[in-house]
Amino acid sequence: MEILHIPDSDEEEVKLDDHVDDSYILPEHKRELIKSIKQIYNNNMPWADAVLMKCMIKHHYKEVISKMDKDAYLSEIQSDNIDDYI
């Protein structure tokens, strides 16, 4: 069970948003992932408003990134070959 930390003073910041380190992911891969997730939600939840969509897409993005194997990803992009795209 996760316990919420209550700050002792006003100077101490409460971090509600879990940060996921995606700094190692190439920008074009981030864009492609977000576009794919967005398409999934647009197809499955066409009734959802923009705010709900944004929350769902961000949550799904963070879930995917947090479960990625950083070393395997970096190894794969280093050995990337043009033949892989054909």
Q: CA distances (Å), 80 to each of 23, 29, 37, 73, 77, in order? A: 19, 13, 23, 10, 5
Question: Is residue 17, in this structure, part of any structural domain at all?
Answer: no
Full domain range(s) for residue 74 = 27-79
Question: Is residue 85, in this structure, part of any structural domain at all?
Answer: no
Question: Is residue 11, in this structure, part of any structural domain at all?
Answer: no
Question: Is residue 4, in this structure, part of any structural domain at all?
Answer: no
* Predicted TM-score (pTM) above 0.75: no
Percent of the chain with pLDDT over 70: 71
Q: What is the pLDDT of residue 19?
A: 82
- CA atoms of 55 and 62, how far apart (whole Å): 11
The token duo for 50 is 């923009």
> Once rounded to an integer, what is the mean pLDDT over residues 43-70?
94
> Once rounded to an integer, what is the mean pLDDT over residues 68-80?
89
Is residue 13 scored above 50 in pLDDT?
no
Are 14 and 7 in contact by the 8 Å Cβ rule? The answer is: yes
Question: Is residue 41, in this structure, part of any structural domain at all?
Answer: yes
Question: Is residue 2, in this structure, part of any structural domain at all?
Answer: no
Helices (H), 1-86: 27-44, 50-67, 70-78
> Once rounded to an integer, what is the mean pLDDT over residues 65-75?
93
Nearest alpha-carbon partner for 57 in 26, 27, 34: 34
pLDDT band at 85 (very low <50, low <70, confident <90, very high): low
> Once rounded to an integer, what is the mean pLDDT over residues 28-48?
95
User: What single letter denotes the amino acid at residue 33?
Assistant: L
The tally of domains found in the chain comes to 1
